[in-house]
DNA sequence: TCTGGGGTCCTAGGACCC
DNA sequence: TCTGGGGTCCTAGGACCC
């Protein structure tokens, strides 16, 4: 049997941990640049604040009900996430925990007898809550997709299930599927949900589970769809995955704090994003051969499509590299190629692909000894930036003015990861 | 005035090879 | 006159996830 454990309203819970006076009060967390709402407390949900909706549209409602608002504080959330995951690893063993996202993990529970799963899951939940202060919910079932179904219901009917739901037999499973709308099935997004309802009159997960694998294959994205159907029928088809996945693509993209029209600011922004992407690359001991850059113009008519035109291009390097200096040069050259005078830009991004392990870089005859020095320099920069403050050391191309920097008007302290911002008890 | 930032997997189709 | 068939690699794009 498998389980999914999920932190309740994770970002809101992190903020509340250090601001207990916010318990039972409505709270929302904003995306980068304070653009959208990405986490809501139950109280905020009840007030009708929409998930993923733009902040400025929700503002009247938020002010009317005195909802507390925070900018995303990824230093804090990342650290608390690590504590939750580490608790699970201590309890279950490393190889039975698959971290799925910042606030979710799949657990392999095959080591426990089936008739004790309710008890075990409850114990896991209570331990995580006691050790970290973060509330969680757990769904247990034969497959990942069914565990997701259980997890959702355990939260929806918290009074009945108290945050733990086990689907141990066909009867329980079917009842749970029946209570799950088709839109709420993991793997069914907006497009598929609409198609299933309009063309096939399928409205809940039980109806979908009765369809054949072939149906999934034909209408829900090929092998992805047939796997989904199998999982719904209780046949495990999505395995637990290894922890040590190296990313095949690394991206750093940001909206600007306000629209930008000068090329110098965009060069600086792209150089900064490249530095960040290269850090991620080095952290997983990889090197990249392809670098892509894109810029997004400010939309003409944001009522129709607020996203505006995207213009991108890429270069393939002769050899893969993880050195910031070698990546910044082509990245900035791409900016010069894409930039058009007189256009107002609101976003830019850098993507690294063609990723290989950095010990397998195919050198050429001209590769010199200076490479070693450079590697040491990169390690040193990473160490200083990690242990001190972000960006103590940076490349000149990244600039110092930063008038493109994103807005974070409601940020709280990095209470658990910075000495000078440590939470104080008086 | 103001709408996030990452990722994944899969498929189709074109280029190219023998 | 008649011009195959099988394979690989790459890219773009669509769908999904949190």
- Could you report the per-residue pLDDT of A50-68, keeping only the tens digit for each? 988 899 999 999 999 999 9
What pLDDT was estimated at residue A420?
84
- Note whether A106 and A144 are within 8 A (CB): yes
Domain assignment of residue A413, yes or no = no
Tens of pLDDT, residue by residue over A357-403, are: 877 655 555 555 566 677 778 877 777 776 655 566 777 787 766 77
Residues 72-131 on chain A lying near strand C, CB distance under 7 A: 100-104
Asked if strand B contacts A51 at the CB level, meaning under 7 A, the answer is no
Domain assignment of residue A405, yes or no = no
**Tell me, in Å, how far CA of A55 is from C1' of C13?**
30
Count of CA atoms in the C-beta half-sphere (13 A) of A397: 21
**Tell me, in Å, how far CA of A32 is from C1' of B5?**
8
What pLDDT was estimated at residue A251?
92
Total domains present in chain A: 3
Residues 154-213 on chain A lying near strand C, CB distance under 7 A: 185-193
Residue at which a domain ends, from A117, A139, A169: A169
- Expressed as residue numbers, the domain containing A235 is 180-243
- Global confidence as pTM: 0.89
Query: A304: pLDDT confidence band, cut at 50, 70 and 90?
Result: very low
Are A153 and A188 in a shared domain? no
Q: What is the CATH number of the domain that holds A381?
A: 3.30.1490.100
Are A360 and A328 in a shared domain? yes
Are A159 and A18 in a shared domain? yes
Are A111 and A4 in a shared domain? yes
Are A213 and A305 in a shared domain? no
Average pLDDT over residues A215-238: 94
Are A381 and A306 in a shared domain? yes
Domain assignment of residue A419, yes or no = no
Protein residue minimizing CA–C1' distance to C18: A101
Asked if strand B contacts A407 at the CB level, meaning under 7 A, the answer is no
Phi, psi at A219, each rounded to 5°:
-110, -10
Average pLDDT over residues A295-324: 76
Are A53 and A82 in a shared domain? yes
In terms of residues, how long is chain A?
426
Asked if strand B contacts A247 at the CB level, meaning under 7 A, the answer is yes
Domain assignment of residue A155, yes or no = yes
Domain assignment of residue A415, yes or no = no
Tens of pLDDT, residue by residue over A157-172, are: 999 999 999 999 999 9
Domain assignment of residue A403, yes or no = no
Domain assignment of residue A412, yes or no = no
Residue at which a domain ends, from A169, A189, A220: A169
Helix axis angle, A117-132 relative to A74-92, nearest 10°? Answer: 140
Q: What's the N-to-C CA distance of chain A in angstroms?
A: 47
What pLDDT was estimated at residue A375?
72
The string over A284-311, giving b where at least 16 C-beta atoms fall within 10 Å of a residue's C-beta and e elsewhere, is eebbbbbbbbbbbbbeeeeeeeeebeeb
Are A1 and A70 in a shared domain? yes
Are A392 and A311 in a shared domain? yes
Residue at which a domain ends, from A138, A169, A200: A169
Domain assignment of residue A361, yes or no = yes
Are A202 and A281 in a shared domain? no
Tens of pLDDT, residue by residue over A7-36, are: 999 999 999 999 999 999 999 999 988 989
Kindly tell me if the per-residue pLDDT of A303 is higher than 50. no
Q: What is the CATH number of the domain that holds A239?
A: 1.10.150.20
Count of CA atoms in the C-beta half-sphere (13 A) of A196: 26
Q: What is the CATH number of the domain that holds A68?
A: 3.30.70.270
Are A239 and A255 in a shared domain? no
- Two structure tokens written together for A402: 């930063």
Cα–Cα dist A102/A163, whole Å? 19
Which residues make Cβ contacts (< 8 Å) with residue A252, sequence separation at least 6? A273, A274, A276, A277, A280, A349, A350
Query: A147: pLDDT confidence band, cut at 50, 70 and 90?
Result: very high
Kindly tell me if the per-residue pLDDT of A245 is higher than 70. no
Are A3 and A131 in a shared domain? yes
């Amino acid at each position: 049997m498998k389980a999914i454990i999920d932190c309740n309203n994770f970002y809101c819970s992190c903020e509340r941990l250090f601001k207990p006076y916010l318990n039972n009060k409505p709270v929302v967390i904003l995306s980068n640049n304070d653009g959208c709402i990405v986490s809501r407390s139950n109280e905020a949900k009840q007030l009708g604040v929409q998930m993923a909706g733009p902040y400025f549209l929700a503002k009247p409602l938020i002010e009317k009900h005195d909802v507390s608002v925070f900018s995303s504080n990824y230093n804090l959330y990342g650290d608390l996430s690590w504590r939750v995951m580490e608790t699970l690893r201590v309890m279950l063993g490393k190889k039975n925990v698959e971290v799925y996202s910042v606030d979710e993990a799949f657990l392999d529970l095959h080591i426990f007898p089936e008739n004790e799963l309710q008890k075990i899951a409850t114990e896991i939940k209570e331990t995580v809550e006691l050790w970290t202060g973060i509330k969680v919910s757990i769904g247990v079932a034969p497959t990942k997709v069914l565990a997701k179904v259980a997890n959702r219901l355990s939260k929806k009917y918290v009074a009945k299930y108290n945050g733990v739901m086990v689907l141990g037999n066909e009867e329980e499973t079917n009842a749970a599927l029946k209570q799950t709308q088709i839109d709420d099935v993991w793997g069914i997004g907006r497009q598929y949900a609409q198609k299933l309802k309009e063309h096939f009159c399928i409205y809940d997960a039980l109806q979908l589970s009765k369809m054949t694998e072939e149906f999934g294959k034909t209408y829900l994205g090929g092998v992805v769809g047939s796997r989904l159907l199998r999982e719904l029928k209780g046949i495990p088809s999505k395995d637990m995955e290894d922890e040590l996945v190296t990313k095949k693509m690394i991206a750093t993209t940001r909206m600007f704090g306000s629209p930008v029209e000068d090329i110098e600011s965009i060069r600086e922004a792209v150089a900064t994003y490249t530095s960040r992407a290269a850090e991620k690359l080095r952290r997983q001991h990889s090197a990249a051969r392809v670098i892509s850059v894109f810029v997004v113009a400010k939309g003409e008519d944001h009522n129709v499509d607020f996203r505006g035109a995207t213009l991108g291009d890429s270069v393939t390097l002769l050899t893969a590299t993880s050195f910031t200096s070698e990546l910044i040069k082509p990245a900035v050259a791409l900016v010069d190629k894409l930039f058009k005078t007189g256009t107002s830009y609101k976003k830019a991004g850098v993507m690294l692909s063609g990723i290989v392990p950095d010990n397998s870089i195919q050198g050429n005859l001209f590769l010199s000894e200076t490479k070693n020095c450079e590697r040491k320099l990169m390690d040193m920069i990473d160490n200083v930036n990690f242990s001190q403050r972000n960006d103590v050391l940076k490349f000149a191309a990244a600039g110092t003015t930063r008038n493109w920097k994103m807005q974070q008007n409601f940020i709280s302290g990095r209470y658990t990861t910075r000495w000078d911002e440590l939470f104080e008890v008086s």
